[in-house]
Amino acid sequence: MSKLLTAQEVADLLRVHKKTIHRMIHSGKL
């Protein structure tokens, strides 16, 4: 199994990561 991510997978991960970070900021954890 390849360790390299496709551009689509990277984009999805970044999108999810941004949502998580925003949620953490809004709940005052960051």
pLDDT the model gives residue 1: 56
pTM of the model: 0.49
pLDDT the model gives residue 28: 85
Distance between CA atoms of residues 13 and 8, nearest Å: 9
Instruction: Give 10-residue mean pLDDT values along the chain (30 residues).
Output: 80 94 84
pLDDT the model gives residue 3: 74
Residues whose CB falls within 8 Å of the CB of residue 30, separated by 6 or more in sequence, listed in order: 21, 24
Residues whose CB falls within 8 Å of the CB of residue 24, separated by 6 or more in sequence, listed in order: 30
